Amino acid sequence: MGNQKDRLLRGTALNGKVRAFAVRTTDLVEELRQRHDTFPVVTAALGRTVSAAAMMGAMLKGDERLSIQVRGDGPIGLIAAESNANGEVRGYVKNPHVELTNIRPGKMDVAAAVGTTGHIDVIKDFGLKEPYRGSVPIISGELAEDFTYYFAVSEQTNSAVSLGVLVSPDYSVANAGGFIIQLLPGVTEDEIKELELALSKIPPITEMLEEGLELEDILKRVVSDVTILEEMDVYFSCDCSHERVERALISLGQEELEQMIEEDGKAEVSCHFCNEKYRFDKEQLKSVLERAKS
């Protein structure tokens, strides 16, 4: 079991009338958990969101990018995830340390942590002047239903979305992943009924991953005639750098920089997405200030 690595499949079924995506994100979610020190219910919420982001990234092409912001009225506050068409994913939450009582053993109350009121914003950057923005209200807070609703409303695509994260007793991620089945024009009522029946019978995604099922087998349980068109690795990647942080400091303006130099004589800036820390001493800050002036 341990040799499986994070990957994503994109496929088609029913003579091209169905698009199918499946992803395993266990290592990615574990890396995010370690970087952000998330408590179990937060690990689950962030893991579900980045699993959706990974699959939505696979719907893009070339250099297109995608960002998801889940802003609910629960204690987590904000869940942010970014992805692209190459399997690179990153994410963070506003409040990693949320503790809630489980609904029942092994079943975390993700909706209570996320909140049941709020909205999900999806921003797609196609490299054009204006990015595409889609926004829908949160309808359940469990996230899979919320993304299903997003596809129906914002992209007019009927979809079945399954997202899951299984957290071990030691808080580490036992497995994580999801699938998205999308109906395209031409699907008949009978075909829809058959799909709904198959979906109603299959166990949660985490159980199937725990059994060691391959992603192909998981998709075949929903649509038996699935053809895999593409397979790719999915992994954590953050594009922050000393230069980027320097640019962010420059954008603060001269006054604030002068104040930093005077009061602290140094600065430490953390990247939201990966928690990497960038330190600037007095001399470095002075050169940043010079650049801000020019």
Do 106 and 67 share a structural domain? yes
- Please indicate, yes or no, whether the overall pTM of this predicted structure exceeds 0.85: yes
Do 127 and 201 share a structural domain? yes
For 255-282, the pLDDT digits (tens) are 999 998 999 899 998 998 998 999 999 9
Last residue of a domain, one of 218, 236, 254: 236
Do 230 and 98 share a structural domain? yes
Do 258 and 159 share a structural domain? no
Per residue of the chain (294 residues), give pLDDT as tens.
Answer: 445 799 999 999 999 999 999 999 999 999 999 999 999 999 999 999 999 999 999 999 999 999 999 999 999 999 999 999 999 999 999 999 999 888 887 788 999 999 999 999 999 998 888 899 999 999 999 999 999 999 999 999 999 999 999 999 999 999 999 999 999 999 999 999 999 999 999 999 999 999 999 999 999 999 999 999 999 999 999 998 989 899 989 998 899 999 989 998 999 989 989 989 999 999 999 999 999 888
**Structural domains in the chain (count):** 2
Dist CA 259 CA 72 (whole Å): 35
Do 57 and 26 share a structural domain? yes
Cα-to-chain-centroid distance, residue 108: 18
139, two tokens: 């309808």
What domain range is 286 assigned to? 242-293
For 188-236, the pLDDT digits (tens) are 999 999 999 999 999 999 999 999 999 999 999 999 999 999 999 999 9
Do 249 and 227 share a structural domain? no
Cα-to-chain-centroid distance, residue 143: 11
DSSP 107: B
Pick the closest to residue 147 from 104, 180, 177 (CA basis). 180
Last residue of a domain, one of 188, 214, 236: 236
273, two tokens: 């997405």
Do 279 and 220 share a structural domain? no
Do 277 and 205 share a structural domain? no
Instruction: Check if the beta carbon of residue 34 is closer than 8 Å to that of residue 252.
Output: no
Adjacency order of strands within the sheet including 7-13: 159-167, 173-183, 18-24, 7-13, 227-233
